[in-house]
Structure 1
Amino acid sequence: MSKVWFITGASRGLGRAFTEAALAGGDRVVAAARSIDSLKGLAEECPGRLVPLRLDVRDRKGVFEGVEQAAAAFGGLDIVVNNAGALLYGMVEEATEEQIRAHMDVNFFGAVWVAQAVLPHLRARSGGRLLQVTSMGSGGGMATVGFYGAGKAALDSVSEALAMEVEGFGIKVTIVQMGGYNTGLFTAGTTNTEPLAQYQPLRTEMEAMWGDAIAPEPETAAPVIMELARLPDPPRRLIVGSQSFDHVLEMDQAQADLYRSWEHLSRIAPG
């Protein structure tokens, strides 16, 4: 049966790839983005199956109104992909209060507003899927992208709680930990801090570490999302990307090794 998808950040990158894949599979999509100009051609190619929706996830009232429009478009919602995001690039000390708050408004609060708005509609279906797009790097911070990791880590934690809260309604929540894809996040989706000279050696080192490797295209990740949406009992968490899978396991093992190396100090306290 045809499903109804609601996808945020659908104008480019992963959101666009997921939108195209859902349409190719015969489903219907409400594609939400701050700018929907790039979706008009796709809507013409798929008449009656794609509804572009102008939406800024930072606006809680606007999100709730937009979700009502989305649900009305096709008579309900089945699969929600909470994908909209941005990147604040720079050292922690360099970031202004305005930049930090604006970043969290998109990557954390915006995702929370979407989740809150769609839950009544999923509950009305006695089920449905909520895919919370985070990052393979949300388990730990890294220089120059600390606030990006912080927002995704916060969304990870809230999503774990949310999954427990709504499973009794038949709603399945999956934290989708995306690897690195050529989404334009480091260009169109990036806000840069004003560099401090003291951090230039580390900045140069980090830029060299990112390297010139070409990231895979977003559409290569879409089959994973399509399969995930079809699973009767989906996982609570899923890493998307073969290399990212290996990196996450390495980071988890390094964290476990660190804890063990200081176990003697931890166990002095009885708590």
Structure 2
Amino acid sequence: MSKVIFITGASRGFGKLWAEAFLRRGDRVVATARNLAQLDELVQLYGDRVLPLQLDVTIRDAGIAAIQVAQQHFGRIDVLINNAGYGLFGPIEEATEQEVREQLEVNVLGLVWMIQAILPVMRAQGSGHIINVSSVLGLVGVPTLGLYNASKYAVEGISEALAKEVKAFGINVTLVEPNAYATDWSGASAIHTTAMPQYDAVKASFRAALTEDFFGDPAATPTAVLQLVDASQPPLHFLLGKKAYAWVKGVYDQRWADWNAWRAVSEAAHGK
């Protein structure tokens, strides 16, 4: 049976690729973007199986209204993919107050508002799947992306708690955690802080690590996402891309080593 998929940030990158994949196989898609004209191509190709909606996820009431329009139009919403977001590039000291607020406003609060909007619909249905696009950088901190890290670490915590809160309603939650991909995320969609020369060496070291094979091919991801959406028991955590596994394992192995090295001190601090 075809599904109704609601995707935020569907005008480019993963959002557009995944929307096209769902539509090609016969699903119906609610595609949202800040600029409605960027969705014209999808409408021309797939007609009334796609519902284009203008949406700024940072406006809570706009998210609620978009969910209501989608539910009335298609009769149900089976999957919400919270894909809207962007990367803020630069060391933490370089970021302005406005840049920090906007990064968290879009990547964290925008996601929360969409979750709050969809839950009444999915609870009434007794089913649903909320897919929050996080990042391997929600698991691993890297220099010059600390505030993006912060936003995705928040998405991880929100999603883990949410999964426990909504399980009894028949609603599944999945964190999609991509490694780096050759999308607009690090290009046209990115925001860069104003450079401070004190961090030139840190930035150069980070750029040197970004070899060509570090980036995955976005076109290879739709098949995996289709399998995820069709799974009867989808995972809470879903790494996307082969570079993520070794990276995350190395970081978590080091965390365990740190925790174990200080275990006696930690336990003594419990006081009982």
Structure 1 and Structure 2 fold alike (TM over 0.5) = yes
- Equivalent residue, structure 2, for 1:102: 102
**Once the two structures are superposed, what CA deviation does each residue of 1:213-238 show, in whole Å capped at 9, x if it has no partner?**
47233221111111111111111111
- Equivalent residue, structure 2, for 1:202: 202
**Once the two structures are superposed, what CA deviation does each residue of 1:52-87 show, in whole Å capped at 9, x if it has no partner?**
111111111111111111222211200110111111
The CA distance in 2 between the partners of 1:254 and 1:32, in whole Å, is 40
CA contact (8 A) 1:163 1:172 kept: yes
| Moved beyond 6 Å, runs of 4+ | none
What is the percentage of aligned positions where both structures have the same residue? 37
SS in 2 for 1:48: helix
- Equivalent residue, structure 1, for 2:31: 31
- Equivalent residue, structure 2, for 1:12: 12
Matches within 5 A, 1:91-170: 91-170=91-170
CA contact (8 A) 1:18 1:219 kept: no
CA contact (8 A) 1:137 1:248 kept: no
The CA distance in 1 between the partners of 2:137 and 2:197, in whole Å, is 26
The CA distance in 2 between the partners of 1:213 and 1:38, in whole Å, is 30
The CA distance in 2 between the partners of 1:26 and 1:90, in whole Å, is 41
SS in 2 for 1:137: helix
The CA distance in 2 between the partners of 1:88 and 1:123, in whole Å, is 35
Matches within 5 A, 1:203-222: 203-213=203-213, 215-222=215-222
**Once the two structures are superposed, what CA deviation does each residue of 1:76-131 show, in whole Å capped at 9, x if it has no partner?**
20011011111111011111110000010110000000111011111121101100
The CA distance in 2 between the partners of 1:213 and 1:37, in whole Å, is 34
**Once the two structures are superposed, what CA deviation does each residue of 1:39-58 show, in whole Å capped at 9, x if it has no partner?**
21221111110111111111
Larger helix proportion of the pair: 2
Flag the 1:80–1:138 CA change in 2: closer, same or farther, 3 A: same
The CA distance in 1 between the partners of 2:213 and 2:38, in whole Å, is 27
Matched, 1:256 2:249: no
CA contact (8 A) 2:140 2:248 kept: no
The CA distance in 2 between the partners of 1:231 and 1:97, in whole Å, is 41
The residue type paired with residue 204 of structure 1 is A
CA contact (8 A) 2:216 2:241 kept: no
The residue type paired with residue 177 of structure 2 is Q
CA RMSD of aligned residues (A): 1.4
The CA distance in 1 between the partners of 2:179 and 2:109, in whole Å, is 22
CA contact (8 A) 2:179 2:216 kept: no
The residue type paired with residue 55 of structure 1 is L
Task: Provide the aligned length of Structure 1 versus Structure 2.
Answer: 271
TM (norm. structure 2) is 0.95
**Once the two structures are superposed, what CA deviation does each residue of 1:183-236 show, in whole Å capped at 9, x if it has no partner?**
211112111111111111111111212234472332211111111111111111
Give ranges in structure 1 of 5+ residues lacking alignment: none
The residue type paired with residue 168 of structure 1 is A
SS in 1 for 2:31: strand
